Structure 1
Amino acid sequence: MRMIRNRRTLLVALVFLGAVFFGYVIYPQAVMIHGSLQVDGRFSLDHYVRVLDVSHSANTEAVMNSVVVSLLSIFLGGIVGGVLAFTLTQFRFPLGKTLSLMAVVPIALPPLVGVISFLFVFGESGLLPRIIQRMFQLERVPFYLDGLWAIVAVHVYSFNVYFYLFISNSLRQLDGSLIEAASSLGSSQWKTLRRVLLPALRPALVGASVLTFMASMASFSAPLIFGGDRRFLTTQIYATKLNGDMDVAAAQSVLLTLVSVGFFLILTFTSRSRGGAVKTKGSSRMAEMRVSPLLRNILISATVLLIVLELLPIITIVVISFVRESSWTWQVFPTEYTIENYVKLVADPRIFEPIQNSVLMTFLTVVGAILVGVTAAFVIVKGGLGKFRGLIDLLMTLSFAIPGTVVAVSLISAFNKPTILSGYSVLVGTFWILPLAYLIRTYPLVVRATSASLEQLDDSLMEAGETFGASLGRRFRKIALPLILPGIVSGCLLVAISALGEFVSSILLYSYSSRPISMEILSQLRGYNFGAAAAYSVFLLAVILLLAFVSNRLSRGGLGGGVRF
């Protein structure tokens, strides 16, 4: 039912959203595409021929490596997330609920922090390989993560959460009577899995796979740290930009965008499809698969081991944050500890500046995401758009599919000269281009979260307020806002987490005076100041946990909201 009855109000909202979408999402992309089609001021496809030329080994290698890593990330992430989801939803055992909470911890880690923590634990000089070397008196470390497999491991660590959340939700909604019926008809466990369980989980598996593929293709932190001489699409774009060949970087960015947006569209239409859903009459209870005691114990042991491996990088980075600078070189374990790394964070203005920058950028991003996201959600859900609702919904969430590297390249292309959209000033090299990049990628999170809450809002409540003469603004403040606040807060939490640790766009857009925390972490790491880099990382984790706690308190009551793509 339509809540926004005033056509003028709806028109103002649509004009505002159109200005944001076409001015800061479409326009930069159009300028970037135009640049990729120009050679000496004339239309040409030469840049695309060069990028797609199989004889040009660098570009071919970048595409192949990106695709291979993405497919491996889906396969292995699906196995890890599936094992965790099945075990933690099907079995009851001590600490099961605690492990369920710990299973989603990697999703809260900023990308660069997760990569660095992996480096400290599993890298060539990492703690785990050196501990094993010392235990068995080996001449060299028996293993360490590097290259393609290190990147895949980081992706599985971060993205298995998609499979865990999607599959867990589907298993909880699956009617247990279907499993019992199959068993009573003599179906084996394998046949029940293949004919009943997997068809019901198909939408969840497709959704998680597409998200993982998009995230892997757009990944930058892991290829940058672990890639070595290997080329990937995102790092190739970065290298091309550093070499000053912006038009070729634009062509590479267009290629990456087409892949990401294509899979985003697949995810969008798959999530709207009802395929795979199994409907039953009356109330249903959660499905429970019967397995042998041996298999049950194996799955529980594997789950505990996987959770321990997920927590190990976080524990390690906390410990290293207390290591005195230059005191940990050849030793297996650090020998000197201090709180000096944390004292410098607040006492040294030069070291505190990145924190100040990131906090301010995050605040601006969240405010912008609220203005755009809540407005868009109201227009989509309560604007009475009819057959245009799906189109507006798709357009207002499309920027989520654009990789951070591409967003940065497009903003450089569009705002390296004064325009009306930049207030007749050059944005490139300034503080303001960073929160703008963050906003473009994250406001769809607020759109989705707020939309989920609005779907559950009874329109009769707003109609009653209108009957008593309350204006639209007053009805929104007094009736709608308290009920949809949990959805807004959950979306803002995800926006804040993304903005605080953003690295992919930042590395292409920052200047020294506007450097965020992520860039300072990379600077400290390159200077072998591991304690300082870890202290910055722990600070980010602490702020994220604080935001999650505040979000949980603010979200009590009201209507549920969540982010769904």
Structure 2
Amino acid sequence: MRQNKSFRGLLPQIVVSWFLVTFVLLPNFGLLQHVFWSGTQITWAPFHKIFTSAIAMHALGNSLILGLSLAVTANLIGIFMALVVSYFDIKGARWLQAGYLTTIIYSGIVVATGYLFVYGRTGFVTRWLQQVWPHLSPDWFTGFPAVLFLMTFAATANHMMFLTTRIQQLDFQTIEAARSLGANQWQILTQIVLPALVPTLTTLTIMLFNTGLGAMSAPLILGGDHFSTITPTILTFTGNTGTYNLAAALSLLLGLMQVVLLLLGRWLDHRKRYAFKTKVPAPMRKQKIHQPFVNGLVHVVAYLIWLILLLPVGATIIFSLTSATAVATEKLGQFTWQNYVTILTTPATLNPIITSLVYATLSALAAILIGLIVARAVTRRQSAGLVNQTLAGVMYLPWLLPAPLIAIGLITTFGSAQLLVGNQILTGGLSLLLIGYTITRLPFSLRFLESLFYSVDANTEEAAQSMGAPALYRFGTVVLPQMKAGVLAILAMNILAHLSDYDLSVFLFSPLVQPLGVAIRANTDPANAVSGDGTVNGLVANLIYSVILMVIGAILLLVLRRQSHQMTSNTF
């Protein structure tokens, strides 16, 4: 009886260990073997080909330039946005915050298509500019400037999530003390407020660099013929059997750069920590800008950023309610709901929505379930052994790996029969995309679930244990209810992450079902944009897909925002 009970207790760890070994460790080791092993000896030929390939080196250089530029521009805009809504006393701050938060629900390939719709060849902004400058090329919004412009504003979501919360946690007594000693507003901002944000800003800067380094959607849609980055190049190489090794090697190189950057970020974070605390912290109060010119300038810039962010969102919503002719000419016509009815009742256009919802929800649940098992084990002193610590370490690996590296590892490994999955070939099937989605959400889920477990009142569980309650019963009735709100927030964020995913989906989706991100990308093709699939053309379909995703994202964001303050404070 004891042996059966012990086995049941170990069964979750056994299943999790099988999943992590099979789908996290094995594909990466398999990819290393595929790239570095030829016959019976080690080979460096794929890397030699990369460093002698003009296409690969050009893409690598573009990615590095984009990453460095984005770390500067998005940080400047993001810090300004966070200060406007959380630190300075700005008129209409609530409206500004609502506009700035659209970066969370309007992102990925959706935001790229939105900016293309507004600033592209037939966009109303382009037509207006051509009236002012008749010689302006209709393709002016392409290449590096267009990609950087889009990503600068789109990549500020984390600033609105994390940096605003960190500003609200500042101790107002410290600011008051500095003011009483004669410090002006600029000195307080640069010598007290910003230094206190350094740990958070270090993390955000590394994330921005990584975002630019692995950018996919924006360069693919707006890059044009002269600006291609690493990830689109990897996608091109995977389409040819003769260059598949180059794609794998380039993915490894991208992964190595991201690992180095993350390690650098951790070193910078631990090198110097800033703490401005008093014994009784006072809540933060918004600061008025006393200089009239500076106050006016801040207001103008704040609302200009707000307008830039809302222009694609507003155009998407408004034109989704018009006819296909109005969308093609970008001239408002009669408003109608018919396009929505057609999209939601035509299988060819409805299936991508259902596919993405199902895959995103199932993968979110799977990541949370695995995270709960491992986080529960590593946060309990009696079970936080070497095995469980190792499982947690493996779960954090996908945080260091770019999407193409994960995808190519899965494709390469499971393109042949593997004993660990019952000698089945998974590549080309329905399960590999679900596995890929789950893998990429493991680090995020584990990180925040650990924080939630540490915040649980241990006394209540000990009381239930002393009364003879079984472990599973204690967890379901005592521990989990205390974590319910946080778990729901993690679930919402996990679903939101993959609803319009393209970077991973384009490598792993099955021809039998097409996820929404792939469908949106296909609709940006000029041929599909005109004719589309079914009775609604591609341009109209993308607008409606974008609105539907924003509605779903807004609902999920309401769940997420309730717990973001708690989880962010635990993280930073």
User: TM exceeds 0.5?
Assistant: yes
Native 8 Å contact 1:453 1:560 kept in 2? no
User: Which deviates more, 25-34 or 331-340?
Assistant: 331-340
Aligned to 1:109: 106
Counterpart of 2:134 in 1: which secondary structure? coil
2:236 is aligned, of 236, 239, 250, to 239
Question: How far did 1:50 drift?
Answer: 2.0
**Amino acid of the structure 1 residue aligned with 2:312:** P
User: Which deviates more, 288-297 or 539-548?
Assistant: 288-297
| Gaps in structure 1 of 5+ consecutive residues | 1-5
1:81 is aligned, of 56, 78, 81, to 78
Question: How far did 1:357 drift?
Answer: 1.7
Give the 3 Å change call, closer, same or farther, for CA 387–262 of structure 1 in structure 2. farther
Aligned to 2:208: 212
Cα-to-partner distance string for 1:400-428 (whole Å, 9 max, x where unaligned): 33222221111111110121333322111
Aligned to 1:308: 307
**Amino acid of the structure 2 residue aligned with 1:425:** Q
Whether 1:138 and 2:147 are equivalent positions in the alignment is: no
Question: How far did 1:109 drift?
Answer: 2.5
Paired with 1:550 and 1:191, the residues of 2 have a C-alpha distance of: 38
Give the 3 Å change call, closer, same or farther, for CA 261–387 of structure 1 in structure 2. farther
Aligned to 1:507: 506
Question: How far did 1:104 drift?
Answer: 2.2
Whether 1:26 and 2:25 are equivalent positions in the alignment is: yes
Give the 3 Å change call, closer, same or farther, for CA 212–8 of structure 1 in structure 2. farther
Aligned to 2:419: 420
- List aligned pairs for 1:194-213, cutoff 5 A: 194-213=190-209
2:548 is aligned, of 536, 539, 564, to 539
Question: How far did 1:318 drift?
Answer: 1.6
Paired with 1:168 and 1:104, the residues of 2 have a C-alpha distance of: 11
Native 8 Å contact 2:31 2:408 kept in 1? yes
- List aligned pairs for 1:220-299, cutoff 5 A: 220-229=216-225, 230-244=227-241, 245-268=243-266, 275-286=273-284, 291=289, 292-299=291-298
Native 8 Å contact 2:453 2:483 kept in 1? yes
Question: How far did 1:142 drift?
Answer: 8.7
Aligned to 1:3: none
Give the 3 Å change call, closer, same or farther, for CA 207–10 of structure 1 in structure 2. farther
Paired with 1:270 and 1:394, the residues of 2 have a C-alpha distance of: 21
- List aligned pairs for 1:84-95, cutoff 5 A: 84-95=81-92
Query: Aligned residues, how many?
Result: 553
Question: How far did 1:19 drift?
Answer: 2.3
Native 8 Å contact 2:17 2:391 kept in 1? no
Paired with 1:515 and 1:10, the residues of 2 have a C-alpha distance of: 39
Give the 3 Å change call, closer, same or farther, for CA 381–241 of structure 1 in structure 2. same
Give the 3 Å change call, closer, same or farther, for CA 103–441 of structure 1 in structure 2. same
User: Which deviates more, 65-74 or 371-380?
Assistant: 371-380
Q: TM-score, normalised by structure 1?
A: 0.90
Percent identical among aligned pairs is 23
Whether 1:346 and 2:344 are equivalent positions in the alignment is: yes
Give the 3 Å change call, closer, same or farther, for CA 182–25 of structure 1 in structure 2. same
Question: How far did 1:328 drift?
Answer: 4.5
Counterpart of 2:155 in 1: which secondary structure? helix
Paired with 2:214 and 2:197, the residues of 1 have a C-alpha distance of: 26
Counterpart of 2:278 in 1: which secondary structure? coil
Paired with 2:107 and 2:429, the residues of 1 have a C-alpha distance of: 23
User: Which deviates more, 176-185 or 233-242?
Assistant: 176-185
Give the 3 Å change call, closer, same or farther, for CA 265–393 of structure 1 in structure 2. farther
**Amino acid of the structure 1 residue aligned with 2:354:** Q
Native 8 Å contact 1:342 1:535 kept in 2? yes
Native 8 Å contact 1:88 1:100 kept in 2? yes
Give the 3 Å change call, closer, same or farther, for CA 174–346 of structure 1 in structure 2. closer
Aligned to 1:363: 361
Question: How far did 1:284 drift?
Answer: 2.8
Cα-to-partner distance string for 1:275-324 (whole Å, 9 max, x where unaligned): 12223222234266664232122212211221221111111112232343
User: Which deviates more, 187-196 or 76-85?
Assistant: 187-196
Cα-to-partner distance string for 1:452-495 (whole Å, 9 max, x where unaligned): 22221111110000011111111111111111011111111111
Aligned to 2:149: 153
Give the 3 Å change call, closer, same or farther, for CA 186–57 of structure 1 in structure 2. same
Cα-to-partner distance string for 1:228-287 (whole Å, 9 max, x where unaligned): 222211011111111222222111010111122233334456667771222322223426
Paired with 1:189 and 1:272, the residues of 2 have a C-alpha distance of: 29
Give the 3 Å change call, closer, same or farther, for CA 305–442 of structure 1 in structure 2. same
Native 8 Å contact 2:255 2:405 kept in 1? yes
Native 8 Å contact 2:112 2:217 kept in 1? yes
**Amino acid of the structure 2 residue aligned with 1:44:** T
Paired with 1:217 and 1:238, the residues of 2 have a C-alpha distance of: 15
Paired with 1:531 and 1:477, the residues of 2 have a C-alpha distance of: 46
**Amino acid of the structure 1 residue aligned with 2:158:** Y
Whether 1:59 and 2:56 are equivalent positions in the alignment is: yes
Paired with 1:321 and 1:104, the residues of 2 have a C-alpha distance of: 21
Paired with 2:41 and 2:481, the residues of 1 have a C-alpha distance of: 56
**Amino acid of the structure 2 residue aligned with 1:172:** Q
- List aligned pairs for 1:362-441, cutoff 5 A: 362-384=360-382, 393-441=392-440
Paired with 1:444 and 1:93, the residues of 2 have a C-alpha distance of: 37
Question: How far did 1:368 drift?
Answer: 0.9
Question: How far did 1:47 drift?
Answer: 0.8
Question: How far did 1:51 drift?
Answer: 1.7
Paired with 1:51 and 1:163, the residues of 2 have a C-alpha distance of: 35
Give the 3 Å change call, closer, same or farther, for CA 559–305 of structure 1 in structure 2. closer
Paired with 2:442 and 2:255, the residues of 1 have a C-alpha distance of: 18
Counterpart of 1:469 in 2: which secondary structure? coil
User: Which deviates more, 177-186 or 152-161?
Assistant: 177-186
Give the 3 Å change call, closer, same or farther, for CA 287–8 of structure 1 in structure 2. farther
Q: TM-score, normalised by structure 2?
A: 0.89
1:123 is aligned, of 120, 130, 133, to 120
1:181 is aligned, of 173, 177, 182, to 177
Give the 3 Å change call, closer, same or farther, for CA 377–59 of structure 1 in structure 2. same
- List aligned pairs for 1:42-53, cutoff 5 A: 42-53=41-52
User: Which deviates more, 15-24 or 496-505?
Assistant: 15-24
Give the 3 Å change call, closer, same or farther, for CA 155–421 of structure 1 in structure 2. farther
Give the 3 Å change call, closer, same or farther, for CA 550–225 of structure 1 in structure 2. same
Give the 3 Å change call, closer, same or farther, for CA 92–301 of structure 1 in structure 2. same
Cα-to-partner distance string for 1:502-555 (whole Å, 9 max, x where unaligned): 111111222332211111112222111211121122222222223345667xx7
Whether 1:481 and 2:477 are equivalent positions in the alignment is: no
Paired with 1:351 and 1:332, the residues of 2 have a C-alpha distance of: 22
Give the 3 Å change call, closer, same or farther, for CA 387–278 of structure 1 in structure 2. farther
Aligned to 2:533: none
**Amino acid of the structure 2 residue aligned with 1:286:** M
